Each structure stands twice: as structure tokens, then as C-alpha cells.
Structure 1
Amino acid sequence: MSNPLLGDWDTPFAIAPFGRIEDKHFGPALETALTLARAEIVAIAEDPEAPSFANTIEALEASGKALDRVLSTFFTVAGADSNPERQALQREFAPKLAAYSSWVYSQKALFARIEALWERRDQLNLTDEQARVLMLTHRGFRRRGAALTGAEEARMQDIMARLAELGTAFTQNLLADEAGWHMELSEADLEGLPDFVVRSARDAGKEKGLERPVVTLSRSLIVPFLQFSPRRDLRERAFAAWASRGANGGETDNRAIADETLALRAERARLLGYEDFAHFKLETEMAGTPQAVRDLLMQVWEPARAQALRDGELLTRMMHEDGIEGPLKPWDWRYYSEKRRQAEHDLDEAELKPYLQLERMIEAAFACASRLFGLEFRPVDVPLYHPDCRAWEVTRGGAHVAVFIGDYFARGSKRSGAWCSAMRGQARFPERQGPVVINVCNFAKGDPALLSYDDARTLFHEFGHALHQMLSDVTYESVSGTSVARDFVELPSQLYEHWLEVPEVLAEFATHAETGEPMPKALLQKVLDAASYDMRFQTVEYLGSALVDLAFHEGAPPADAMARQAEVLRDLGMPEAITMRHATPHFAHVFAGDGYSSGYYSYMWSEVMDADAFQSFEEAGGAFDAERAKALEKTILSRGGSADAEALYLAFRGRMPGPEALLKGRGLAA
């Protein structure tokens, strides 16, 4: 076919032929793929044969492959390398895809076949994985309103279409605010900034076609600026822009979008017979109920807040010693906390950063995966969507496992944050296919590119997600890789972060960018000693966001999300100098789609398990214990969503954990 998105891909590893794809191809390809997918659904629904697992569930698993390929390709570039045409296509595609999804779930004949299989599931002689896929398919149809009829069914379709439009608008507004702001710096404004921040600011200015250095809203640039700039006025200006993303008035303001989104989610839950959206959403998660989530979060909130308040008092005294009166503000915390860290731990981020080269940290992530799971990584030349991207073939014992793509640098066309996605998931049905996995980050460019310790942790975190995708070994793609409960999906990623802090890993891969010398043992020890430094601050800003998210979706929806946010934070006693990690207008986890809605808590739920899981390595033969690594792959990484999350963890550890290891790891234990 003339459209490169359609037909067979004769590229290495059957990767999307990015070199031949133009934006004009996406619209026609989507229409063709939707037509094919609809025909496949109709054929399944109207099959004259009695419903069987093969002609209904497996047929659904095999359907929509052309659509999957078009969408995985499009959303990869739309998120990581956007432009006005792709943004317009996102707005155009959102209601079409929502309408298609609603149409599928409204097929009564199809749902009747699934329901018939569910009712006689015990007679079908299914494997455990097949039984799981049947359960998930049946539950998914019911939760999408397949049992609704008449006006309720029509209203559900309208709600889902509108939510898709709102999520797209939220994302694009946020991207516009992030890309549209920068603060130019004079040479005098650079005083006090370490060399790596100055280089990043100059590089950011060049990217924008300016002769002067700039601060942008990329986390890898604005956070170190807030840490090191002695200019309080500039810190305040930069922080104000960062905090007001999505709340600047005009066409890119997200506040009304948040209000409407919350109202529609609540109505959706009521139509399906749930008390509220939180109960609907958490039904399928490990936590199960809003109360279970709140119980965990509040167990951590109280000690974190108390200790953060004490930290704030100390930082305030430091500020007053500098001759600045009044209370500590959010744009002061990171600056004085960095000074405190240098004083208490004799650890200077500027001293540390030359040892955290991006290239060496990539090597470290690969090397840990090789020691733990026997994986090997070989650079390969394949079609990629941007010059910054790189690709590796992942093998084990000479056999192909996956293709891994890394897209590490910040740019104006990329949405903020870091994420892992699979352009193709692992499966053995309807034919064997290896995964194609992407890690996308927003690190500051440089020659060489240097990371903060938080950046390095992010790299390991996203690679943990990638391992979950790459080591998947299931039959059906719908349960492969990261297709698991939201509060379980962060376990592999957060667990992998621990290997960054293994002394022998840093000793080998943390080498100086100029001298090539390994990190001195004294500095290495400082890094490890300070690993949980300022964790009270990080815990409070995270929990503020998680508890606001939960409050948004529990009970009646707020008429004014910003007022509800303020009410929740006031009731919690949120310290004045600490803000939510993600305030409502830029809380993309919750409002760019419903993936983490009522689910932002899941990072901490998973952390309870990851702290306990790493402890099991330490209790055995150490971080690279072969038996523990084998158990991790066998019981968790290879299984995807083919079994219940709690059952998988129990198979790995033999028991469910309490929060003790988490509190200890965050320095919050009594």
C-alpha cells in the first residue's frame, strides 16, 4: 500500500518505518484501520458458531492489529516529538477513538457471547492464563457499560467521548505553557550557579535560537536552578511560572477542564452503579477501596509532615542568617536545603554531577540487567522518529528478546516527565512477537550530558518498567508486560532504582566526565549516606498530590477543583513552604487521561512492596543474588497481568509486606 503505516513493515525487527512516515499519512491510516477493526468485531459478534474461547476471546485478542500499529506509532511521536499538525490530529482522533471504543462495548451480540462464556467458565477447560484473560475481558466490558441500554448507554458514550476530548486538551494546554515560557539570564544572573547548570542554560538558549542562556520549565533545568541560584527574585519568578502551568488564563487554562472532567467521571461511576469514581476505579486495584488507600497514606503523612516542619524551621533560620526576614517560601526550600546538605553531608551536587554521565548511567542500567537476568544489549541501526533516539537489540544466550529505544533529552516538542511505553508488546498469540520498548526522559543536553542524582534514579526507574515489558513471557498481549493493576505496575520500576545505590555499581560506572577517574570512596559514601536526605520534603509534596487526587474522586465531585484542592491541603496542615508535586492545573497523571485518577497513591503502594522486595535480596546473597533474581523474573517480571497481582507478590516473597521497610527507607521510622 502507498501509506507506509499500513501493510507489512519490511524494516529491521518490523519497527515502524519512521523515515517514510509523514504526518499526512496518519489520518487516512486511522480511517482504514478503524474500518478493518470494525469489520473484525462484527465478524466475531455475528459468528454463527456457538461461542468458544477460540472464536470469541482469542478472536478479540487477534483483532485490531492494524489499528494498534497506527496508534502506537502516532502516540509515540505525538508525546515525544509534537508539532502543530500532530496536536491537531490528536484533537481530531480523540472523539473518533472514543466513539470506536464505545461502539465496541455497545455490541450486545458480542457481549452476549462473552457473558455466555463467563457463565460456563468452569466447563471450558481453560489454562490459568486463559481463565484470567476471560475474566478481564468480561470485567472490562461490564465496566465500560456493555450491560447498559437505552438512554444510559447513549449517555455513557457521550461521557467517554467528552472525556477523551478533555484529556487531549489538558495535555496540549500543558505542553503549550511549558514550551511557551523561558527566562533569559544575563551573565550576572549566572553567578553562584555551578558549571553544569550554566552549560544547560546556555544549551537551552541555543535550542530556542537565543544568544543568552535561559531557564525553561524542564525539570532537569529548573530544579537545579532553584537549588543553586542565590538570586531569590529569579527563583521566585521561575517557581511562579513552574507552579502556574495550566493556570495562566486564556486558551491554555486547565482549571475548567479539571472541573468538567471530575463531574463526568462521577456521572460515569453512578451510571455503572458505583458509589463514586474512587470506588469504581479502585475495584480493580490491589488497594481495593479508598479507605485502604487513605490508611496507608496517612500512616506516612503524619511522621513526614512532622519532620518536614522541623526541617522547615531549620531552613528558615538559615535564611534569616542571610538577612532575609519573613517565612520560608516554596522557592526558598530547595536552595537552603541544598546548602544544608552540603553542610551536613559535605555533599555538593556540583561535585557529584560530573560523575553521573548519561552514557555511563545507561551502561550501568544495562550491566545490572545483564548480571541479574543475563540480558545483552547491542546498538542497532533501525528507523527512529528523532535524531536524539538510540536503539539496542536485547538478547539472551544469543536469542532475540526485544528492541529497546532510548529518547533521553528534553526539547520543546516533548511533553514533560518521563515514561516507558511499548510500541509492540510481547505475545505468543496469534503469533510470536518480541516487544519494542521505549524510555522517554527529559534530561538536559550537554557535552557530555550530566545527570543529577534524581535524574539517574529516573533513568533506572524507567528502565525497570522496560524490563517488565522486555522480560514478559505470556501468551496473550492483553496481559503482557505492564498490563497489570495500577498500584502494582510501579513495583518493578521502583525496585530497579535500588540498584543505582548499590556501592559496587556506582564504584564501576560513576566515573568523572573529564578525568575518567572513578568516584572517590569518600564521595561515594557521602552519596549513600545522603540517599534519603530531604525525603520528608519529597514525601510531603507527593502525598499532598495523592491525597488531593483521592479527595477529588471520593464522594460528590467538587464544583470547583481548585477550591477543593485548597480545602484538602488546609485540612492536612500542608506546610506553607511545600507545594503539591503536581497541582491540579498541571496534574497530567490524573487529568491527561484516567490512568492514574484515584491512583496517584500507587507509587507509594508499590513502594511498600519494592522496599520489602529489595530487602529480600539483601537478606539472601546481596543485590545480585542469582536465586532472588530468578524468582523475580519467574514470579513477577515474566508474568505481566496473567495472574492476580497479590498472588504474584506472594509467590515471590511468601507474604505481603507492611510499611515498615518503606518508612525506614524514607528516613521516617521512629
Structure 2
Amino acid sequence: MNILNHSFKTPYDTAPFSQIQNSDYLPAFEDAIAATRAEIDAIVHNNEAPTFENTIAALAFSGMQLDRISNIFFNLQSAETNDEMDAIAREVAPKLAELGNDITLNLELFERIKEIYQQKDSLNLSEEEENLLTKNYKDFVRNGALLSEEDKKTLREIDAELSVLKLQFGEHVLADSNAYQLLITDEAELAGLPEGILEAAKEMAKAEDKEGWLFTLDYPSYIPFVTYAENRERRKEISLAAGKKAFQDNANNNEEIVLKIVRLRFKRAQLLGYASHAHFVLEERMAQTPDQVNAFLEDLLAKGKPAAEREFNELTQFAKELDGIQHLEKWDGSYYSEKLKQQRFNLDDEKLKPYFKLENVLQGAFEIANRLYDLNFKEVQNIDKYHPDVQTFEVSDENGELIAIFYADFFPRKGKRNGAWMTSFKSQYKKDGHNERPHVSIVCNFTKPTASKPSLLTFNEVLTLFHEFGHALHGMLANTQYPTLSGTSVFWDFVELPSQIMENWCYEEEALNLFAKHYETGDAIPMEYVEKIKESAAFMEGMATVRQLSFGLLDMGWHGQDPNGITAVKPFEVEQFKSTVLFPDVEDNAMSPSFSHIFNGGYSSGYYSYKWAEVLDADAFDYFKQNGIFNKEVAKKFKDHILSKGGTVHPMKLYLAFRGQEPSVEPLLKRAGLLD
């Protein structure tokens, strides 16, 4: 019996990870794809006249079993993969792309949707229903429903090819990341590195039966190394390795894949009647057009660049005075920034880390969610896990009603990709009078506990945890009718608001006092540290802003024009970075071949949305600050108008309902210290 093809007899219908074999996936996908096709056929061949219920609602609830299997499989392929799963993904991806095309290119289905859409003003629909209908109609038109049969065939071929290329891109980045190791056997070369990092590196070497200290490109290993290691040559070595991921002469090179992906995306957009891939994507975003995105990025660049140049010159001068460095290179940036920060604020991560024990930070996030939204988190052991490191929690409201199941997966391992993300194993929706609650997960890569120390987070890692937890709250507090509009199913440049706003609490004394306690003594974080955290919040923010804008401009460069004239990745990238460049270019490094957000994730033509959402989050948190950071009334508005609504209403309408006015850029510029 294939466990994936039956209802899970588990607590809260949670995924039965330990009972799933890799051999279950392919047959389960085949069966679920066939079942989805049958559901679509039943809608198409319904003899009754098309109605909202028998067509639009039926479509929203079709493919539920396939969604569950896909969520389980692809989430594990990011967090706990192996060669066998990667092979299954390559086989399944084109089949899922084909199914998607078979649905959106089904003329009879589209005719039913179109008929309902044309009568929408007389149907007395709720706002959510009208939004779902409009979204369905647009999705079909935007994905080829009006194309000729020949063009539909071309579209199918493009989508099948893209689905495989994106997977290959991700596999290559992970393979190159895993292939690199920096083994240091001479203790003198470790000068400057904190004790906790050295202990972790020693344990990593030991785990591989090696003598010495082992460093990798995983963030908890890589970032501390380039931040603290005094040995400039070693910093250069690991930095160059990070910049070469999928950009070297081996089987993992992604240059051709990048060019293929952007050309295929452009071809697809043209086929559908759009000037570029960015024009296609942005039609369904708050920003709406490439011109508006570019104007937004250029405006922020004009405000941020003078500060970035001032900071870069200051850093250059500091490195020269401290160590006689004549030219600041990329592998010097984090190191001298940290040194200057320590000098200016007498504050460094090593002083702060003892106050940020992972378990305490997580409990702090829970406590803040409780004070704002009356949520309670209880760790449970009766829910199946896909890895022993994963923690599972029941989330309930003030009345003890289940709100969500929450998974937390915090440590790096071989089959897990770098970075941090939120995802879900099951969406929230309402059906047959029952409100199905979501199963939400956050995945990070923090330093593992060692024999002598618990997992102690840098302040940046604290921000990361709160960021992903903000996404999780968006998923957990979802309260919509249809799964396709639930939780984080919102415009891409709106989805970062709930995550980024959560980071603000990490700078507030009232919030820090809840969880920033010394892991050995239990003492609260000293007030002078809190003040310095706040003071240093805008430190080097000009450089950080310009760096973030450079990624957005690179994304728009690849996707906002005809890419067919681009013959090589590196020269094109150099051109795109021209207006944002601070450090000298490194010839054998390139970003695009490992820019997973836009080539393997969902951020193509959308990387600007981090900055876009920063404008929203700074403005929204300003509202909290004016009324108190734990103000129940403001929190209720945020929950009711933003967190629970998913994609049921246009985001600007939701924001206006919450804030009472359109967002202003001033709070962001003020927070970043970019106002004159």
C-alpha cells in the first residue's frame, strides 16, 4: 500500500515522513496526476450550465492530493535531499509542467470560466469569490488559453524544458557548495576566529575523519570565516570559492543554463503577447511594470549611493590605517566592517551571541506572537519528523483551538540547501463547514550545538529567524475560503511585508528583554548592548542598500529586455552592476550562475520586492511604534487586514485598511540613516 495515496491516519493529518519510501513518490505522483485530470474532466463535462460553484470553486479544490504530495516531496528535496530524490524530481517536473499546461490550455474549461467571468457583475459574489474568479480568468489568459494550437504546443515545450533547467540549476549550485572544503591544519591560520566557530570546525573535521579545522560554504561556516579570520589569503580563498559556485570549468557550470532560462522565459512572454518576461510577471504585482520597478530601484539608488560611497571610502581608509591594505577587495568587506563596528560601537557578535541561545530566541518569537496575536506554541513529540533535528509544535489560540502545526528545522546538513525559507506542507482552507488548519515550516542554517556550547546565534541570525517566523505567521493565521488564495499566496512584492516587519521587534528593548538572556547566567542583555544594537542598526546601511539594489537591477537586466543578444554571462553581469559597483570586480567570480532566487526560486523579475516590502514594513512598524510595539489594537488590524486575508483582496487595499494611508518611503530612509 502506498501511504501517499491514502488519507494520513496521523495526528492532525500531518505528513507521515517515517513511513514514506523514495519508491512511493513516482507512483503516488502518477496516481495523483491521473486523479487531478479526472477532476478537471468532471468540471469540463458537467452538463449543467457553468456556475461559480461547479466550475470556479471546483477548480480551486481540484488537485488537493497532488498538492500534498508535491509539498511533501519538493520541501524535502530542498531540506533533506539525496541523489535518488533529485532523479525523481527531474522525472516528475516535466509531468507536472505538462499537467499545468493541460489545465490552463484546456479550451473547454476556459470557455466555462469565461462565461462566468462575463457575468461576474450580476452574480452577487463576495470579494474573495470575485477575486478568485478574476484570478482564474487572468491565469488562463496569461498562460496561453487564447493561443493557437501550434503556439500552445510551443508553450508546452518551453514549460517542460524550463521545469528541468530550473532543477538542474539548483542541483549544480548545491553540488558545487558541497564539493568545496577548506581544511586548515596550522592553528596560526585561525587567528581572529571565535572559539565557538573553531569548535564547530573541529567537530566538522572530526566527523569526516580529518585532522584540523574544516570550513565549508554553508553560511554558519562561511560567514564567520570571512568576518573574523585575520588571514587574508585564506579569506580570499574561501571567498573566491563561494563566488565560483556553478561558474567554473566542471559539470556543474550554470552559464549555459542561465542563458537558456532567460531566452526561454523571453520567448514564452513574447508568445503570450508581452514585451518581456518582466512585463509578464509584473502585471500581477503591486509594482505593475518594469518601468515602475526600475524607477523605484533608481530612486533608492540615488538616495543610497552617496552614503554607500562615503562608507566604502571610510572602510578603505580604516583598512589602510589598521593593516596597510592599499585596495579593499570583496573578501575584505565583512572583515573590516566588523572591525570598524567593534571600534565604533564596542560591540561585536561574539559579545552578543551568549545572549542569543537559539531556544531562547525561538521562545521569544513565540512570546511576541502571543502578545500580538494571542497564539500559544506547545512542542509535541507525537508528530512525525523528516529528520531528528526538526522540532514540531501545536499552535493554538486563546481558546485552545488549533491554529496550525509548526515545524522548525534549524541546522545545516549535506542534503539541505543553503539559506533560510518558510514553506508549508498543507494549506489552510474552508470546506464542508470545516476550517482546515495549515502545516507550516521554517528552514534555516544555524550553527549546531557543540559538545560544550548550545547553538548561539549572531544578531543577523536572530533577524533571519524572526524574518522566516513572520512568513510562518502569514501562513499560520490564514483564514480564507480557498487554498489557492490562502496564506502567502499573495502578490510577490507584498509577501515580504509580514516577514520583514517581524525583524523590527529585534531592535526594541521591550522585546529583547523577553528572550535575550545569557545562556549560562540567565542575566538579561545589558542595556548598553541594546542601545548599541539600535545605534548600529544603520551601520554600513548605504553599502547594504546598494548591494541589495544591485541584485534587483541584475534581475531586471536579465528579464526586462530581449536577452537573445547576450552571449556571455559575466560581461553582461558586469554591465548591469556598473551603477552599483564599489569593490573591484573578481574576474573568475559571477553571481548569476548561483543566483538561485531568480533562476531556481520564484523571484524572477521580483528581487526588487525585498526593498519594496521594506518601504511597507518600515511604514507599518512606524504605526506600531506610535501606538506601542505590543499594542493589541494595531496588532488586531495587522492580523485581520494583512495576515489572515491571503490573496483575497488587492494588497494595496489591504494595506490601506490596516494603515489608513498609503505607505511612505520616509520611515525606511530614516531607519536606514539615508535622510540628509
1:656 and 2:665 matched = no
Identify the residue that residue 554 of structure 2 maps to in structure 1: 548
Contact 2:190 2:230 survives alignment (8 Å):
no
Distance 1:209 1:3 in 2: 39
Corresponding residue of 1:164: 163
Aligned residue identity for 1:125: N
Amino acid at match of 2:411: F
Aligned residues of 2:361 and 2:462 also touching (Cα < 8 A): yes
2:385 — aligned with what? 384
Distance 1:115 1:444 in 2: 53
Residue in 2 aligned with 1:320? 320
Q: CA deviation at 1:543?
A: 1.0
Instruction: Give the TM-score normalised by the residue count of structure 2.
Output: 0.96
Identity, % of aligned pairs? 39
> SS of the residue aligned with 1:555?
coil
Question: Does the 8 Å contact 2:17/2:384 carry over to 1?
Answer: yes
Is the 2:496–2:610 contact (alpha carbons within 8 Å) kept by the matching residues of 1? yes
- Residues in 2 aligned to 1:263 and 1:563: alpha-carbon distance in whole angstroms: 17
Partner of 2:148: 149
* Residue deviations 1:290-336 (CA, integer Å, cap 9, x gap): 11111221122123222222222222222223444431000011111
Partner Cα separation in structure 2 for residue 437 and residue 205 of structure 1 = 34
- Structure-1 residue corresponding to 2:371: 371
Does structure 2 retain, via aligned residues, the 8 Å contact 1:540–1:578? no
Name the counterpart of 1:435.
438
The equivalent residue for 1:258 is 258
Residue identity opposite 1:507 in structure 2? N
Distance 1:93 1:303 in 2: 46
- Measured in 1, the distance between the counterparts of 2:246 and 2:109 equals 41
Deviations 1:216-243 (CA, angstroms, capped at 9, x unpaired): 1112221111111100000000100111
Distance 2:568 2:113 in 1: 40
Q: Is the 8 A contact 1:608 1:661 kept in 2?
A: yes
**Cα offset for 1:573?**
4.6
State whether residues 219 and 445 of structure 2, in contact with CA within 8 Å, keep that contact through their aligned partners in structure 1.
yes
Query: Residue 81 of structure 1 corresponds to which residue in structure 2?
Result: 80
What is the alpha-carbon distance in structure 1 between the residues aligned to residue 235 and residue 429 of structure 2?
Answer: 49
Hey, what's the Cα distance between the residues in 1 that align with 2:445 and 2:573? Answer: 28
Shift of 1:637: 0.5
The separation in 2 between residues aligned to 1:271 and 1:90, in whole angstroms, is 27
Q: For the residues of structure 1 that align with 2:246 and 2:93, how far apart are their CA atoms?
A: 20
Aligned partner letter, 1:603? Y
1:611 maps to which residue?
Answer: 618
Greater shift, 240-249 or 596-605, is seen at: 240-249
Task: Identify the match of residue 402 of structure 1 among 383, 404, 407.
Answer: 404
Which residue pairs with 1:467 in the alignment?
Answer: 473
Shift of 1:204: 3.1
Contact 2:570-2:590 within 8 A present in 1 as well: no
Aligned in 2, Cα 1:38/1:429: closer, same or farther, shift over 3 Å? Answer: same
Amino acid at match of 2:249: G
| Residues 33-48 of structure 1 mapped to structure 2, 5 A cutoff | 33-48=32-47
Deviation string for 1:429-449 (max 9, x for gaps)? 255310000000011112300
Give aligned pairs, total. Answer: 666
Q: Could you tell me which of 524, 529, 537 is aligned with 1:531?
A: 537
Match in the other structure for 2:342: 342
SS at match of 2:424: strand
Residue of structure 1 equivalent to 2:646: 640
Letter aligned with residue 204 of structure 2: A
In 2, the alpha carbon distance for the partners of 1:660 and 1:579 equals: 35
Q: CA deviation at 1:578?
A: 8.4
Between stretches 181-190 and 319-328, larger displacement belongs to 319-328
Please show how residues 197-596 of structure 1 align to structure 2 within 5 Å.
197-381=197-381, 382-396=383-397, 397-429=399-431, 431-446=434-449, 447-557=453-563, 558-570=566-578, 572-576=579-583, 583-593=591-601, 595-596=602-603
> Please, what is the CA RMSD of the aligned residues?
1.6
Work out whether residues 3 and 29 of structure 1, in 8 Å CA contact, stay in contact via their aligned partners in 2.
Answer: yes
CA separation in 1, counterparts of 2:85 and 2:305?
Answer: 43
C-alpha separation in 1, matches of 2:435 and 2:640: 19
Cα distance in 2 for partners of 1:206, 1:545 equals: 37
Matched, 1:598 2:600: no
**Within 1, Cα distance between the matches of 2:212 and 2:115?**
67
- Structure 1 segments (4+ residues) deviating >6 Å: 578-582
Q: Is the 8 A contact 1:541 1:578 kept in 2?
A: no
Q: CA deviation at 1:385?
A: 0.4
CA distance in 2, matches of 1:484, 1:579: 38
Rounded Cα–Cα distance in structure 1 between residues aligned with 2:484 and 2:590 = 30
Query: Residues 92-112 of structure 1: CA distance to partner in whole angstroms, max 9, x if unpaired?
Result: 111111111111112111111
Tell whether the 8 Å contact from 1:541 to 1:579 is kept in structure 2 after alignment.
no
How many Å apart are 1:579 and its aligned residue?
8.8
Secondary structure of the 1:439 match is: strand
- TM-score norm. by structure 1 comes to 0.97
Q: CA contact under 8 A between 1:201 and 1:214: conserved in structure 2?
A: yes
SS at 2:146 equivalent: coil
Q: Is the 8 A contact 1:418 1:439 kept in 2?
A: yes
- Cα distance in structure 2, aligned partners of 1:207 and 1:119: 64
Does the 8 Å CA contact 1:420/1:439 hold for their aligned counterparts? yes
Name 1:29's counterpart in structure 2. Answer: 28
- AA aligned to 2:644 is S
Cα pair 1:98 1:161 within 8 Å, conserved: yes
Contact 2:3/2:20 (CA < 8 Å) preserved in 1? yes
Q: CA deviation at 1:209?
A: 4.4
Q: Which residue of 1 aligns with 2:56?
A: 57
Q: For 2:444, what is the secondary structure of its paired residue?
A: strand
Extract unaligned runs of 5+ from structure 2: none
Letter in 1 for 2:259: D
- The DSSP-based 3-state class of the residue aligned with 2:157 is helix
Question: For the residues of structure 2 that align with 1:419 and 1:6, how far apart are their CA atoms?
Answer: 27
Q: Is the CA contact (8 Å cut-off) linking 2:546 and 2:580 kept in structure 1? A: no
Pick closer, same or farther for the CA change 1:524–1:578 going to 2, 3 Å. Answer: farther
TM superposition shift of 1:577 = 5.1
In 1: Cα distance, 2:548 partner to 2:208 partner: 32
Residue pair 1:429, 1:477 contacting (<8 A) in 2 also: no
Q: Which residue number corresponds to residue 111 of structure 2?
A: 112
* Residues 85-136 of structure 1: per-residue CA shift (max 9 Å, x gap): 0111111111111111111112111111001111111122211111111011
**One-letter amino acid of the counterpart of residue 65, structure 2:** A
In the TM superposition, residue 191 of structure 1 has moved relative to its aligned partner by: 2.0
